[in-house]
Structure 1
């Protein structure tokens, strides 16, 4: 089953039920499906072919949701890009996936146009909140979707076709496009909605970016069931967001650790806000046990789920809430209809309480990285049977004798901060562009709110004087918000290996207050 069929089915079954609450608008399933159909019809009318890519570079809003399903209905592949992305990275993504269409909004046009100057594959730009100052290949959203839909009822493709590319940071500094089919999405959504016990009358409040797969799946899962999604742009102002729990009678509240840290520190949390919430979820990084205890006290009617996942397989594990008291530091067991194990270098399961790499098997595992065979071969390797490949996550875990998993650390350099994966190399590339920077290394410092706070270690030469604020401003102008270092330290030198490479592992160990024997190659 192609995933856009869920939206059409829900619109037929419960047309007037609210699908989205967003920016003061209440959008019914009939309205959302009609808008998606119009977007799809307009794409096809302009020659958008099966398997072509549509990049969505805009905020959490109704048009983003409609375009996701509209792109699928047109037989295409969508990719949602964080609206804080700068022109260089956007240009890379557009070029890497050879996007045919870009959907953006007026406030982001300067960034989009700068990227488009280096993106010859893009034939059409659609602009929400369009102004009169439009280029030849740009059209306003309202005009673009105005014509009546003319698509045939038959789907444009089958369920093994690619549905989305989710760009995630890589250890080389270049983003990698994670390839997910309609079948991958359906498998993940069915498994997660099952263990969360979600139902058609649920109301989910999400402040997570649709560019973040945790946020994206809130939309995908709600549409699968016919539930309601209350979609906000961010959690920057908790006192504005939390009352929505009560006013919208929210039943599901997905969190990341940064949000949880803010909530548990509130002194005026009103019990009425939590009265209707029956499940709270967390992923991206483990919650401290103290935060879990406080969340359970603030949301006494809710089941609190600790989970672990990665973009390459969406969700990997979940901890049944009844296990929280026994093992609050565990990320649980494999999600339904999947398998996981802790493996040695040969890929075989290790004995209990032995640290190894987490391996994932199931229908939610990605197809690979877009046009990156080398990275794909590192992540997807032969499994137990001749017909399959399994995902080697690059994350170190241990499993106890009862089969519950515990996160230990990462095998590569990727840092998780604010729930997002950050490539130190990508940040370092920007730091090296700052005049006077001779050496740069970025590490993750344990932080109760962020999980890991980014710290830049710099060696400056050439008589240049730099202040921490200069470095932060330079990075803020070129990187997404979550990639900007919060801490800056200037040093006379950085430790090197015998071959002259910066000893990143040693610097990371130092940041975490632990010793690392020997040198990393």
Structure 2
């Protein structure tokens, strides 16, 4: 942080710090951790909204060699119990909203942020600067708990070596600049939010942490802070487009939107470009298990519109058949990532690790088998076809839920869409968020889909359920469907 000590580093709703101030607070937190007996390899679990303090705590934990375990503040006790039991933290940090439920679950000290930060502040004012704990590249920097379809916790092991490589490679691929201001609406408990903190630090640019702010002030905050880069998922993109459509003022100076989580509908991409003239909309593909796998070069954002880009520098993408052999160019197979960004497996889950992180049969190098399907063109650009759960056969034809959702999103007035593949409980079903009636939706779909792909059930919702990370909450939709059928 000595390269640009007085440059803006991090801003939240309560204020801002320079890199000098961020570094000093991180040293003070490292001193506080030392006084609590926290050292190399100890897990520090936090259930907090993103803030300047949380950024300092990440860096301070790294200085002590401790493992940062961030959890979403909205995580309920049902999942929280499993995660705390799995992580076995030595120390837990919450706030007024989360500390009590953490105390009821954890059998280790649980500290309220307001109380501990008063002590950290004293260390900051006295210039506390403890000697850093020696850290090896293969030591853990973080455990990132992914949102899955089961109650069982699953944490991605994130060693310093892989985290550092992925941060630098992604910062270079996206071309972050020292004068950028990155507007982050995602919690640090999600790798999409955490890595934005790391990438802005690598580029010595500024980040605005806005995951706790009201949707209604979104554009106002973007304008006030002069944001230039906005990471998005489809639901956030739809919200930004809706707000921008009603706002007649000068748009914020956004030069780049970066998307992940799910594909952006072409209509949303066009709307973002229309409301933010000159902004690039960059497509990406990734998984927490390798952070990011491909990025469309920003200068090529209008080219190959179906592609999700090229592998990160220094990494490779393979597309393999069920026997593990490369498929010909243009043919669909499983997407497999190879390189120094592939993380260390799953925490205390050897069975799933062995199934997902498999050694190269010739070199022994770990390869991440994503369970997703895609193809490569002759120039090495990846085309994402769908996740394993998205692909299905119906009426003798192979298809993907993405095809159905894309057709629905093409209908004017549809704000969100999620298709549920056939199962032993129901046929192909489609949910959309819209003000349209079900008959109009069906009529419009019939103009876009052949009869084999027409959903058996089309439901219109006034408000769509999303996961904590802004993805379609398919489990809630399944429950709605089953409730209708009982």
TM-score, normalised on structure 2? Answer: 0.79
Q: CA 1:452–1:216 in 2, change beyond 3 Å: closer, same or farther?
A: farther
Matched, 1:167 2:145: yes
Query: Is residue 282–residue 305 contact of structure 1 (8 Å, CA) maintained in 2?
Result: yes
**What SS does structure 1 have at the residue aligned with 2:342?**
coil
3-state DSSP of counterpart to 1:242 = helix
Distance between the aligned counterparts of 1:367 and 1:228, measured in 2? 29
* 1:488 matched to 2:480: yes
- CA drift of 1:318 comes to 1.2
Find the aligned partners of 1:223 and 1:18 in 2 and give their Cα distance.
Answer: 10
Match of residue 203 from structure 2:
225
Tell me if structure 1 keeps the 8 A contact 2:219–2:240: no
Question: What are the residue-to-residue correspondences of 1:18-417 with 2, within 5 Å?
Answer: 18-116=8-106, 120=107, 122=108, 124-130=109-115, 140-143=116-119, 146-147=122-123, 148=126, 152-170=130-148, 172-234=150-212, 236-237=214-215, 239-266=216-243, 267-270=245-248, 272-274=250-252, 276-383=253-360, 385-412=362-389
Contact 2:31 2:128 (C-alpha < 8 Å) held by counterparts: yes
Post-superposition offset of 1:107: 1.6
Distance 1:365 1:479, change over 3 A: closer
Retained in 1: the 8 A contact 2:99–2:111?
no
Aligned pair in 2 of structure 1 residues 84, 445: CA closer, same or farther (>3 Å)? farther
Partner of 2:179: helix, strand, or coil? coil
Deviation (angstroms), 1:325: 3.8
Note the residue ranges of structure 1 that are not aligned, 5 or more in a row: 1-9, 131-139, 415-443, 460-475, 495-521
Q: Secondary structure at the match of 1:20?
A: strand
Match of 1:83, SS state, is coil
Whichever structure has more helix as a proportion of its residues is 2
Q: Which residue in the other structure is 1:5 paired with?
A: none
Partner SS state of residue 13, structure 1: coil
Q: 1:492 to 1:258 in 2, by over 3 A?
A: closer
Task: Provide the C-alpha distance between the structure 2 equivalents of 1:346 and 1:404, rounded to a whole number of angstroms.
Answer: 23
Alignment length (residue pairs): 424
SS of residue matched to 1:143: helix
Taking structure 1 as the reference length, what is the TM-score of the superposition? 0.74
Which stretches in structure 2 are left out of the alignment for 5+ residues? 392-402, 410-414, 426-464
**Contact 1:457–1:489 under 8 Å retained in 2:** no
Contact 1:206 1:232 (8 Å CA) reproduced: yes
1:373 to partner: Cα distance: 0.5
DSSP-derived class of the 2:261 partner = coil
| Contact preservation (8 Å) 1:196, 1:279 | no
Q: Structure 1, residues 248-301: CA drift from partner, whole Å, max 9, x if none?
A: 221111111101112223422446223x22211111101011111121222222
Deviation string, structure 1 residues 109-138 (Cα, Å, up to 9, x no partner):
23222322xxx3x2x2221235xxxxxxxx
Q: CA separation in 2, counterparts of 1:286 and 1:207?
A: 18
Q: CA deviation at 1:156?
A: 2.6
Return closer, same or farther for 1:296/1:493 CA change in 2, 3 Å cut-off: closer
